[in-house]
Structure 1
């Protein structure tokens, strides 16, 4: 089975400014203690971890590089690709509500980054489910006018938007999808169903169902781990089946989120698990969700 890993990270912690991986104290993190990933993870490390599976293309996600220098990470990643052959594309850091937006967009539109940076990520401001209100519109959120003005610029540069936010904020993303239909939104990590009690899963499913009606929205089935719980096929089966039913295989992509998800399992278990979770699909559908959809969305060669 050919695989495109549509979302993983490479980082050189010793030499590059990933402050969250280098500095003490560590930041709060959804998987809890993340000391185990505060080390280099480079193409050779990925290759050693994935030997049992046929990964043919890589899409690297920005790794919280120093936010004062978003272009620096993209240039480092492109040099890594030139040297090692991977990644084949990148989702780069951007800050939609910052004064340097135009300069960053122009850098991504110039060689050597043009055609390599396919999408950008700026995690919008969010709140806890307990504090969330349906009229949420804080500065830095998806309803913030300044933030939306920056988002509107992405279409001019043919850049997709990588959305990482908890599922209770997805109605804000529906507004983005409808107001800016030429910009593709790629939901990261299945909309973050971080707990699996029946009420949460049912409400998450309704939120994902609403946004799935927007045909310019795609979803990465990735980052499925739950803090303190084992990564198992049975635990993730309802999530995966729901997303495939709602979005279809032409808008779903499997991805590893490695090495972050090394905190909950190993790379072999992730890809082996996805293969088990997709057994109900026919061969064409399986090829789509493992490979072809990501090739088409990210325009990979």
Structure 2
């Protein structure tokens, strides 16, 4: 008889922001960028730890990982200082994935400054690239200047949070193999937006090649799709495939809130994940919801 997980949760991927006082170009009034969930006007509002805890309802969030929010790239340290201030006031977040543009001339200085901040564990710089399977071109993961910036992370003990669609993962495999001392954490399950059998087969094959690298992990996060409610039935095949490929010891839960509030409530999403992983052994469920994120992001109990 499956036992539903009821322990502490470490949210490995979430955001806080105050668009009315901080520099988020994409959250400004009247600005509309191409967004995978479509209309995102509803999240152009303050979102702070007290609101997040209210959204979580009865679920016990023990810790969270703040992921950079496309803050003004002219001030990457400013975002880290802001998130660190939230932690001092609210007790959340407990780790930070900071902004660092790896191909800029100031990359070495920014990485060093970010690494000096006590809560920073990782950095993120979305590498762009082909927008659909089979499209010609490469991402920044193949750019020499970007890779030179990436090479600096290991010396500072920093991970790299990678957000790229699954069809770019062969470049990520090369990156992981060339830098075995740096952990790559794939955000949002490689963005499997299309769920037809052929698309899922291609996604799984790319994910399997990536999972074969020992220095990678993955977040079961950001699984919503425009026009579809977040359900365990819709997302279960993706989550089960992640755990099959990476194991629970390299797979971690992430809410992607408040972004995924466009797809479902936080209690509904957490309950959905709990239902999906209920057939797993208790220790695997604990790893998925708590233990893996604690270890990867070096969070204290």
Counterpart for residue 45 of structure 2: 39
Identify the residue that residue 180 of structure 1 maps to in structure 2: 179
Match of 2:289 in 1: 290
- Aligned-residue RMSD, C-alpha: 1.0
Is residue 130–residue 138 contact of structure 2 (8 Å, CA) maintained in 1? no
CA distance in 1, matches of 2:77, 2:43: 23
State how far apart, in whole Å, the 2-side matches of 1:73 and 1:128 are: 28
Does residue 84 of structure 2 align to residue 78 of structure 1?
yes
Structure 2 Cα separation of the partners of residues 287 and 16 of structure 1: 36
TM-score, with normalisation over the residues of structure 1? 0.96
Distance in 1 (alpha carbons) for counterparts of 2:229 and 2:67: 25
| Number of aligned residues | 294
Question: Residues of 1 paired with 2:109 and 2:68: CA distance?
Answer: 18
**Which residue of the partner structure matches residue 156 of structure 1?**
155
* Contact 2:133 2:167 survives alignment (8 Å): no
Q: Which residue of 2 aligns with 1:121?
A: 124
Alignment match, 2:256: 257
Q: TM-score, normalised by structure 2?
A: 0.96
The aligned counterpart of 2:232 is: 233
Relative to structure 1, the CA distance from residue 25 to residue 131 in structure 2 (aligned partners, 3 Å threshold; closer, same or farther) is farther
Q: Aligned equivalents of 1:36 and 1:198: distance in 2?
A: 32
Where structure 2 has 5 or more consecutive residues not aligned to the other structure, the ranges are 1-6
Could you tell which deviates more after superposition, 206-215 or 19-28?
19-28
The SS at the match of 1:183 is coil
Alignment partners' CA distance in 2, 1:257 and 1:126:
22
SS in 2 for 1:200: helix
Q: Which runs of 5+ in 1 are unaligned?
A: none
Superposed displacement of residue 109, structure 1: 2.9
Residue of 3, 19, 29 corresponding to 2:9? 3
**How far off is 1:251 after superposition?**
0.2
Q: How does 1:185-196 map onto structure 2 within 5 Å?
A: 185-196=184-195
Aligned residue for 1:71, secondary structure, equals helix
> What is the deviation of 1:232?
0.9
CA distance in 2, matches of 1:159, 1:284: 27
Deviation of the 1:116 alpha carbon: 0.6
2:270 equivalent to 1:271: yes
Q: Secondary structure at the match of 1:142?
A: helix
1:16 matched residue in structure 2: 22
